[in-house]
Amino acid sequence: MGNTLLTERDGALVVLTLNRPEKLNALNAELLSELDVSLAALAGDTSIACAILTGAGEKAFAAGADIAAMLDMSTEQARHFSELGHRICSRIERAPFPVIGAVNGFALGGGCELALACDFLYASDKAKLGQPEVNLGIIPGFGGTQRLARRVGIARARELCYTGDTIGAEEALRIGLVNAVVPHADLMSKVKDVAGKIAKKGPLAIAQCKRALFSGEGVPLDTANALETQAFAMLFGTSDRREGMTAFLEKRAAAFKGS
């Protein structure tokens, strides 16, 4: 593996940084492969409480897939490239810990799709987001047509995908694409503060909460509620549940152990 992905560990927090700043962190096969392998390994690390996904440099989260690398792709190669992107986004969604996107600049095409797979997003006031693939004669290939619709509604998703327009951070906030807009210099400190808050909660509870929210989306309410009941009951068999409730009654901070 190369150096197109940086991994920084700080206790229970891990920061994944897309690292091709000279190419605005464009997603080539090397970067995507590194991200795929890293996410697979992190999913099995029970000491991780939260992850942050961001881009290196001052200009981009990820400006999209590497167009030069896609120019001569065959239909079959394009299918494999799309499948790799879908697998990575699925790993983000199914990770047993939250993944917060810190959108520090351009998040276009595949970059926007990676962001959409995150649990939620905070954006720099310099951020620009969009799905401009139709300008290239293609469509989003890493789940953008589906996750964007689930995030902002079908009509907004159609508008963005059909026009290929890029929107600024404030518009992204207005339509619900990002959770908050933060001054550029303060973005990572804000995201790390939120990640640190999450890291203090019961890790098994966070994992089950993420699972219930993800699995319940798009299924009938009765089915989703049954998933919640199952997760709720299961947590009563954990030491963390007893510790959390005991700590509350004793008016002290809980010492969760993930068991």
Verify whether residue 133 is a known catalytic residue: yes
Task: In whole angstroms, give the CA distance from residue 177 to residue 57.
Answer: 22
Task: In whole angstroms, give the CA distance from residue 22 to residue 41.
Answer: 27
Structure tokens at 170: 């404030």
CB distance 119 to 210 below 8 Å: yes
CB distance 148 to 92 below 8 Å: no
Q: Of 34, 20, 32, 108, which is closest to residue 64 (Cα–Cα)?
A: 108
Which residue of the set 8, 22, 113, 170 is catalytic?
113
For 248, phi then psi, to 5°, come to -60, -45
Task: In whole angstroms, give the CA distance from residue 117 to residue 95.
Answer: 11
Q: How many CB atoms lie within 10 A of CB 188?
A: 18
Task: In whole angstroms, give the CA distance from residue 203 to residue 201.
Answer: 6
Verify whether residue 217 is a known catalytic residue: no
- 110, with CB counted inside 10 A (0-12, 13-18, 19+), is buried
Given the structure tokens 């068991």, which residue do they identify?
A: 259
Which residue of the set 133, 171, 217, 228 is catalytic?
133
Among all residues, which ones are annotated catalytic?
A: 113, 133
